[in-house]
Amino acid sequence: MHHVVHRRAVLSAAAGLAGAAGLVSAAGCSSAPRKRRPQAAADVSPSAEAGVKRRGAAAAEALVARYDATLRAHPPVRAAVAPLRAEAARHAKAFGGRVPAATASVSASASASASASPPAGGGTRPAVPADPKAALRALASQAQSASDARLADVGPAGPQLARLTASVAASWAGHAELLGKAAQ
Amino acid sequence: MSDQVVPAAQAALAAEHAAVYGYGVVGGQLTGEKKAQARAALAAHRARRDQLVRTVQGLKAKPAAAAAAYRLPFAVTDQASAVRLAARLETRVADVYGDLIVASGGALRASAAAALREAALRAVQWTGTSTAFPGITL
């Protein structure tokens, strides 16, 4: 795993510093044996790992369901919401979850037909505010809460799942930002 | 599993040094609200840099020093290129924190995860576009 911290530099140091290796050369990469440090990645129990995955999948599925409900109720928000919905579906899959296929372009009769279709994620259909801007604000708020919960869940995960969990938390913070902007 | 926490923390520190340098360049090309945004980002990167210096010291290593100057990936000559560099800085910083999360545990991992989210959020603020998996390069 030594390569992981060496494969990129934010900016390369100007010529003269440590040659072409650039910035990360300063990190050094001694392969001398080290004793376990308290801040190093610890061993993870399989059940803890499974719990992080399950919670991540459930949160992503719930977010997709909320995005879908909002898209059904407010077709004009599609340009803002559909790309985020697609990302949340990728998040659900990355955690081993499942989401329904994205709905096709919403027609004028969408809200009528949508009410007859089963709710995404198998749960109760999320309530969507009648006002489109309020609906976007509600989505932003859910994305932010979901982001906070993922961020708080990186501890029990193994190294790769911890990075995935933090990444999804970061992505959802971006969702909240963009949805908030779209609501203005 | 080998202990990669020191090199990963050093790489994150080096990335923050570079971001602090880069935002100096970025800020010079911006005005108004965007300049304020760059100033806030610079302050955030300085704070993370200082935190990482303490982290590395706490791990009994010598903190990576900043370079005197850095090569920019492209010329920054106007607002558009400055915003592009800011977004690039944040994206790369997020990647390095992703590596630190993998290498670390406990409080350091939690802090790296928060830093990843902050950097990714600033990238979104600069670009206006979402990313599915910030901090993970495949």
Q: Could you please report the per-residue DSSP string of A104-165?
A: PSP-TTHHHHHTTSPPGGGSPPPP--SSHHHHHHHHHHHHHHHHHHHHTTSTTS-HHHHHHH
% of chain A surpassing 90 pLDDT: 59
pLDDT of residue A10: 78
Is A93's Cβ below 8 Å from some Cβ in B? no
Residues 6+ apart with CB under 8 A from A141: A176
Those of residues 48-87 in A touching chain B at CB distance below 8 A are 83-84, 87
Residues of A within 8 A of B15 (CB-CB) are 9-10, 23
Written as six digits, the tokens of A182 are 């779209």
Q: Do B2 and A1 touch (CB under 8 A)?
A: yes
**pLDDT value of position B97:** 98
CATH topology of domain A46-101+114-182: Ferritin (1.20.1260)
Nearest CA in chain A to B102: A159
Longest alpha-carbon distance in chain B: 49
Task: Give residue-wise pLDDT tens across range B48-101.
Answer: 999 999 999 999 999 999 999 999 999 999 999 999 999 999 999 999 999 999
Q: How many CB pairs under 8 A join A and B?
A: 214
Read off φ and ψ for residue B70, nearest 5 degrees.
-130, 150
Alpha-carbon distance of A134 to A136, in angstroms, equals 5
Rounded to the nearest angstrom, the minimum Cα separation between A175 and chain B is 7
Domain boundaries, chain A: 46-101+114-182
Residue A167 has pLDDT above 90, yes or no: yes
Which of B16, B121, B122, B131 should be substituted to probe chain A, the one whose Cβ sees the most A Cβ atoms within 10 Å?
B121
- φ/ψ of B61, rounded to 5, equals -125, 165
For B5, which residue in chain A has the nearest alpha carbon? A40
Model pTM greater than 0.95?
Answer: no
What distance in Å separates the CA atoms of residue A99 and residue B129, rounded to the nearest whole number? 23
| Surface of A (107-146) touching B: CB under 8 A | none
CA distance B62 to chain A (A): 9
Separation CA B19–CA B13 (nearest Å) = 10
Per-residue buried b or exposed e for B77-89, using 16+ beta carbons within 10 Å of the residue's own CB:
eeeebbbbbbbbb
